[in-house]
Every structure is written in C-alpha cells, then in structure tokens.
Structure 1
Amino acid sequence: MGDNERLLANEAPAFSRAARVKYYNIVIRSGKGAVVTDVDGNDYIGLLASASSTNTGHAHPHVVKAIQDQAARLIQYTAAYFATENEAKLAPRLAALAPISGPKALAWGNSGSDANDAIIKFSRAYTGRPNIVSFTGAYHGSTYGSQTLSAVSLNMSRKIGPMLPGVVKVPFPDPWKRLKGETDDAFVDRMFAAFKLPFETYLPAEETAAILIEPIQGDGGIVKAPQKFMEKIYKFAHDNGILFAVDEVNQGMGRTGKWWSIENFGLEPDLMSVGKSLASGMPLSAVIGRQEIMDSLGAPGHLFTTAGNPITTAAAMATIDVIEDEHLIERSAKLGKRAEKFFRDEREKFPFIGDIRMYGLNGGIDIIDPETGKPDADATTKIIYRVFELGAIIISLKTNVLRFQPPLVITDEQLEKAFAILNQAFTDLAAGKLSLPDNAAEMGW
C-alpha cells in the first residue's frame, strides 16, 4: 500500500463525506509553481489552481518569504480590536484596486463565503430592504447565507433547510438554455423576461436590497453572462434603488485577463466579494463597496477574530506584488488565447468537444454526445481520469464541463505539456480505449 492509500484509509473514519467533492485518490504533499506532488512522489501539472485560489502558483518565493517573515514577528492579533501593520497597509491598497468610483471601503473575512454573507448584511442595512436576488448555477459559498444564495447543487440545500429567508433565485443566462436557432438578442430578451418575472408577480422591487451575480460563473461551468443581459439587469437595479453586487471570489485577482471579471463588462458594482487567490490561498476574504454602504453597519456587525490576520494580509500584499511585478494579468490574457486556440483545434478533430468558453487563462469546455449534442457525463469522467493518469489534474463541473484554470504562472513548456496530455486523453476516448474508473459514481459535483 502506497502512502496515498494509507493516509486516505487513515483519514476516512474521521472525515465527513460532506466536506469534499471526490475526484482522485491522492494526498498532496507539496507544490511549486504549477506543479503539485503527492505523498508517493508523483508530480502533476495543476490545471485547477486549487479551485482558482492559487493564481500566483504554489509556494511562490515572494509570498513564502512574506509569510515566513511575518510568522517570526507576529502570527495573530485580531483586527477586530486593533489594526496590525500589514492589514493597515493592505486595506487602502486593495480598496484602490476595486473597480468602484469614489470613496470605498472594505471589511475582512476568512473566506469568500463570509464575504458573500457580508453582501447580504450591508445591502440590507444600507437600503433598509429585506430581499436579495441571486442566480441559478451560482456558487457563493458554504455558510448559511452564501449557501442560500447558491444554486449549483441540490446537496447545498438538501436536508439542511429552512434556508435563509428573503433570497430569490432567477435563471442565469447559461448557453445550455439557448433555444435552437435563437439569436443573441432574442436569448437575452427571453432571459431578461425570466429575470423580471418575480418582480412582476410577487417580489416588490422596492423591497429588494441587492442583485448578486457572478459576471462569469465559476462552478456553474465557466459561463460569461451576455453583455446586453448584464446591462439590462444593471439598469434595472439602479432604476429601482437596488444595489448591484458581484462575486469575484473565483474569477477575480487576474483570472480573466483583468483584475476583476466585472471589468469585462464596463460596469461598476456597488459591492463586491473577494477571496480565494487574494492571499494565494491563505484564509482571507474581503467585501468591498461604496463607502456609504460600508458605513451602514456598526461594529460588531461584520468582524471575525482571525479575519485580516497578520500572516494572511502579508500574503495578500505579496500576492498583489507578484501579480503586478510579473504582469500576470497580461499573461492570463495571452495564455488564454493560446489555450482557446488549442481547444478549438481539438474540436475540429473530436466531435465530442462542444462549446468552448475561455476568458483569460480560465475556461469551460463542454463534452457532449456527438449524436445528440447533449452533455456526456461518462465521457467527461473518462477524460479527466485519463488526464490524471497521464500526469495532470483537471476536474469536471456540471457533470460534463472541463474546468481549465491553471495557475497564471504556468510556464510555456508546462502549458504545452498539458495540451499534449489533453490531446492524448481525447485521442484515447475517440479510440474507445477508456473506461470509467471504479469510483466514477462518486466523482464530481
């Protein structure tokens, strides 16, 4: 028995099945850049970036040094009572990066989940209204508030209701909802009509505090909302005194080839949530918003003992340094174009590759049944498992979407090797050489 199997067997009796979406039976020991190594010494090119939480890669020397130096000075003092040095420097630096005009402020958290909880809190406090609108396919987190906002898996509501009151979900304009022959404008009009239906039937706009959207859904399949749809809901929000809030946890910090995914639309949010790669995967999040909104609550309305921790804020300062100094936003845009060309070339050869969505180094690739055009979950699982066998880590979303989110520091050589691995997996599937792994039934969302 290898160390992977031994450690997993040792963990199993003590670990809840609710706490991990299963994919491969490995235990990760270390990582460097875009490569992770398991406890048996196997190296894998990471095409997941730890769920887009390590955009700067694993163990970046500048981030590591910031963490080590800070740990030797002060590991923890709560920002709930006193400012600490890095936190006091980071707050104005991060706020300045937010695509919001005028004065703005932030509050710290420990995860993207509580940052989305904060959007509920601050929007209700500022507007004096109770209701929040979110979208199907969304993943906003796993606290009760953020989980109520989410709609990507039944296991996020099954057996744990009642969920937070006052949350209404409307359909996200997912390309799978497009009708055959439907034009872009007709699709947007139909989806906007579905968006407005609650407001016309049971949800008073004047009692709605905020609309929260992932401009590009992450776990919903890496799906970008149409520009015209975003403009319509943005105008609707502002016409009705509703705050427009965006979740940048998955798609922020350079992932889309811009600092924030909302910048792909030219729209300014009133509130935004940030997490994951903010501190290169260390537990730090923030809600950022217009200052008058962020001043609508008093302490301790949104604070946590360890939020804005000295080490996590040191990591975040270093993370921003790396993104700026190594031009990772520009690199994301450049490598994303290369990745899009690769997948489009592969689609010419393999009819089971369907829609390709690439926004920076950040893509969702649909695997379909060539005969019906419908999602093919089995083929997707065969592909991702074969990729794993060949030395790379990629996972699936929505049963049939390949999630392609390498660290933005991936080298050209590593990216080309990843393309070769993917091509081999596609070739093997086309040749009928692949079978489902033994644990296929429990793999994925």
Structure 2
Amino acid sequence: MSNNKKILAEEKRYLADTSRVKYFDVVIDHGKGATITDADGRDYIDLLASASATNTGHSHPHVVAAIAEQAEKLIQYTPAYFANTTTAKLTQRLAKLAPGQFEKQVVFGNSGSDANDAIIKFARAYTGRQYIVSFTGAYHGSTYGAISISGVSLNMTRKIGPLLPEVVKVPFPDQNQRLANESDDDFSERLFKQFKLPFETYLPADDVALVIIEPIQGDGGIVKAPQKYMDLVYQFTRDHGIVFAVDEVNQGLGRTGKLWSIDHFGIAPDLMSVGKSIASGLPLSAVIGRREIMASLSAPANVYTTAGNPVTAAAAMATLDVIETEKLVARSERIGNFAKAFFEKAAKRYDFIGDVRMYGLNGGIDIVDSQGQPDDEATTKLIYRIFELGAIMISLRGNTLRFQPPLVITQAALESAFAMISQAFSELEAGQLTLPETDNHIGW
C-alpha cells in the first residue's frame, strides 16, 4: 500500500466527513513555489494554490524566514489584551492598501469566515438595522454568520438550521443567466430589477444594514459581475444609507490581475474582508473599513485570542513584501493573459468547452455536453486525468474547471501543465477517459 493510501486509511477513522470536500486520494507532504509533493514523493504542478491561499507560492523563502525570525522572538501573546510590534505595523500597512480616500481601521480574525461575520456585526451596529442582503452563488465561509449569507451549496444549509435571521439573497449576475444576444448593460438592468424586487415588495430599504458581494465570485465559478450592475447596486446603497461590503478573501491580493477584485470596478467599499493569502495560508483574516463604521463596536464584540498574533502578522508582512517586490499583481495580469489565450484556443478546438472566464491567474472554464448543458461527469473525468498526469486542478459547481495557480508559477511550469490539460482534453474527445474508482463522491 502506498504512503498516500495508508495515511488516508488511518485518517479516515478519525476525520469527520464534513471537514473535507473530497477530490483525489493524495496526501500533501511538502511544497515549493508552484510544486507540491505527496507522501509517495510524487510531484504535482499546483493549479489550485491551496484554494487561492498561497498566492506567493509554497514556502517562499522570505515568508519562511519572517515566520522563523518572529517565532524566535514571540509566537503568541494575545492581541486581544496587548499590542505587539509586528501586528501594529501590519495594521497600518493594511489600512493604507485598501481602496478609498478616507480614514480606515482594521480588525483581525483567524479566517475569512469570521471576517465576514465581523462585517455583519459592524454593519448592524453602525446602521442600527438588521437585514443583510447577499447573493446566490456566494461563498463567504462556514461560521454561522458567514454560512447564512452564502449560497453556493445546499450542504451549507442542510440539517444545521436555523441560520442567522434577516438574511435575504438576491440573484448574482451570473453569465449563465444572460439571454441570447443580451448586452452587458441590458443584462445589468434586468438583473438589477431582480435585485430591487425584494425592496419593492417586502424589504424596506431603511431596514437594511448591509449589501455584501464578491465582485468576482470564487467558489461560485469565477464569475465577474458586469460594471454597470456593480455601479447600480453601489449607488442604491449610497441612496439608502446601506453599508456596501466586498469579500476579497478568495479574489484579493493579486489573484485577478489587480490587488483587489473591486479595483476592476473603480468602487471603494465601506468594508472589505481579507483572508487566505494575506499570510500565505497561515490562519489570519482582516476587515478593513471606514473609521466611523469600525468605531461602532466596542471590545469584546469582535475579539479573538489568536487573531492577528505575531507569527501570522509577520507572515503577512512578508507576504505583502513579496507581492510588491516581485510585482505579482502585474505578473498575474501578464501570465493570466497567456493562460487565457490557451483556454480560449482550446474552447475553439473542443465542443465540450463552454464559457471561459479569466481574470489574471484566475479562471473558470465550463465543461458542457452536446446540448450545451453542464457536464459534471466529463468535468470529473478531466480533473482526475489531469491529476494522474501530474497537476492539481479541481472543479467548481460540478462542471467548472478551477484555475488558480500560485502567482509565482513559472511560464515553463505553466506550459507543462497546459500540455497535461491538452492531453486530457484530447483523450476526453476520443472517449478514452473513465470515472475514477473511488468510494468518495468527487467535488462539491
């Protein structure tokens, strides 16, 4: 039995099923840059970046050195009671990086989930209102507040209700809802009417505290909202005194070819949640927002013992150094265009490739059947074959290939990965791929 299978068999006795979305029978042992190595010593090109949590790659030497240096000095003393030198510096740096020409403050958490919980708290406290508006297809996290405003999987609501009250979900402007020959502006106007419907029938705007959106949905399929739609929703919140927040946990920190995904729209949000790659995957999150909104709560309304601890703060400072010095935002845009050209060329070659959405090193590639409908089975065959060939790529929504490699990936590694993907595409077209033999459901 391989080390991978042995470890997984032992782990299965103790690990609850709900804690992992299952894909491949692989155990990650170590990684460097855009390469990960399993417990059997096999290398894979990483096209997932730990769910966009390692934008600077695996074990970047500058980040590793910063963690080690800080651990020698101080691993933890709770920022809930006392400041520390490293976290204090990070607070100022994050406030300056967020969009908007207004004064900002920062709070820390341990994950994107609790950051989005914090956004709900601050919006309700600041406005004195209760209702929250979020979007279908959203993934905001798994704590009770974050899971209540999410809308991407039925297993995020099944058996665990009641969820947070006073949450209303409206349709995200997903391209799959677009009518034939419908322009961006017409599509935006039509979906904005759907956005307004609750406000016109049962939801008073002056009872709404918050509208929270992923400008580019991550787990919803890497789907970007149209500019006009974002402008209309943003202006609606301005007209009605509603806090406008964006979730940048998945799509922030250079992933989309901009530092923040909201930068594609020229809008400065009132509140913004950050996580995942902020500390190169260490457990750290933050909410950055307008000073007057952040001042609406007092401690301990959003206090955590380990949030923003010195080691994660040091990792975050080093991560931001790498993003700046290695110009990873511009690199994401440039190399992303190379990747976009590959997938768009493939879409012309293979009928089973539907829509291709690429924003930086960040893409969703839909796999469809002969009728143009989502083909989950073919998608699973593809990702498993790509895994067999030596690259890690998973699916979203059942039929969307998720492309999110570390922003440091070399062009040579990317070309090698594309050769594997091309082979899998060719084999699928030839009817040579089969579903893997596994007792696990693969994917979401």
The two structures have a TM-score, normalised by structure 1, of 0.99
Kept in 2, the 8 Å contact 1:381–1:440? The answer is no
Between 1:181-190 and 1:326-335, the stretch displaced more is: 181-190
The aligned counterpart of 1:25 is 25
The aligned counterpart of 1:69 is 69
The aligned counterpart of 2:126 is 126
The aligned counterpart of 1:201 is 201
Instruction: Report the alpha carbon displacement of residue 184 of structure 1 after superposing the two structures with TM.
Output: 2.4
How many Å separate the matches in 2 of 1:78 and 1:348? 55
The aligned counterpart of 1:216 is 216
Instruction: Report the alpha carbon displacement of residue 178 of structure 1 after superposing the two structures with TM.
Output: 1.4
What RMSD over aligned residues (CA atoms) do the two structures have, in Å? Answer: 0.8
Instruction: Report the alpha carbon displacement of residue 162 of structure 1 after superposing the two structures with TM.
Output: 0.4
The aligned counterpart of 1:335 is 335
The aligned counterpart of 2:164 is 164
Give a deviation string over 1:312-354, Cα, whole Å, max 9, x none.
Answer: 0000000000000000001000011000000011112111111
Question: 1:76-155 to 2 correspondence within 5 Å?
Answer: 76-155=76-155
How many Å separate the matches in 2 of 1:353 and 1:439? 26
How many Å separate the matches in 2 of 1:88 and 1:140? 27
Instruction: Report the alpha carbon displacement of residue 303 of structure 1 after superposing the two structures with TM.
Output: 1.2
Instruction: Report the alpha carbon displacement of residue 440 of structure 1 after superposing the two structures with TM.
Output: 7.9
The aligned counterpart of 2:181 is 181
The aligned counterpart of 2:389 is 390
Between 1:101-110 and 1:435-444, the stretch displaced more is: 435-444
How many Å separate the matches in 1 of 2:20 and 2:140? 16
Give a deviation string over 1:217-264, Cα, whole Å, max 9, x none.
Answer: 000000000000000000001000001100000000110111100000
Instruction: Report the alpha carbon displacement of residue 181 of structure 1 after superposing the two structures with TM.
Output: 3.3
The aligned counterpart of 1:8 is 8
How many Å separate the matches in 1 of 2:331 and 2:284? 24
Aligned AA (1:166): E
Q: How many residues align?
A: 444
The aligned counterpart of 1:242 is 242
How many Å separate the matches in 2 of 1:82 and 1:289? 22
How many Å separate the matches in 2 of 1:2 and 1:303? 44
Kept in 1, the 8 Å contact 2:272–2:287? The answer is yes
Aligned AA (1:417): S
Instruction: Report the alpha carbon displacement of residue 72 of structure 1 after superposing the two structures with TM.
Output: 1.0
- Give secondary structure in 2 for the equivalent of 1:62: helix
Instruction: Report the alpha carbon displacement of residue 300 of structure 1 after superposing the two structures with TM.
Output: 0.5
How many Å separate the matches in 1 of 2:184 and 2:273? 29
Kept in 2, the 8 Å contact 1:100–1:289? The answer is no
- Give secondary structure in 2 for the equivalent of 1:442: coil
- Give secondary structure in 2 for the equivalent of 1:364: strand
How many Å separate the matches in 1 of 2:337 and 2:278? 24
Kept in 1, the 8 Å contact 2:22–2:440? The answer is no
Aligned AA (1:106): V
How many Å separate the matches in 1 of 2:426 and 2:415? 16
The aligned counterpart of 1:277 is 277
Aligned AA (1:395): I
The aligned counterpart of 1:231 is 231
Structure 2, unmatched stretches of 5+, are: none
The aligned counterpart of 1:436 is 435
Structure 1, unmatched stretches of 5+, are: none
| Fraction of identical pairs, as percent | 66
How many Å separate the matches in 1 of 2:329 and 2:169? 32
How many Å separate the matches in 2 of 1:182 and 1:89? 48
Give a deviation string over 1:341-368, Cα, whole Å, max 9, x none.
Answer: 0001111211111101000000000011
Instruction: Report the alpha carbon displacement of residue 406 of structure 1 after superposing the two structures with TM.
Output: 0.2
How many Å separate the matches in 2 of 1:39 and 1:373? 39
How many Å separate the matches in 1 of 2:437 and 2:374? 21
The two structures have a TM-score, normalised by structure 2, of 0.99
Instruction: Report the alpha carbon displacement of residue 183 of structure 1 after superposing the two structures with TM.
Output: 2.9
The aligned counterpart of 2:371 is 372
Kept in 2, the 8 Å contact 1:49–1:405? The answer is yes
Aligned AA (2:316): A
How many Å separate the matches in 2 of 1:74 and 1:268? 36
- Give secondary structure in 2 for the equivalent of 1:181: coil
The aligned counterpart of 2:308 is 308
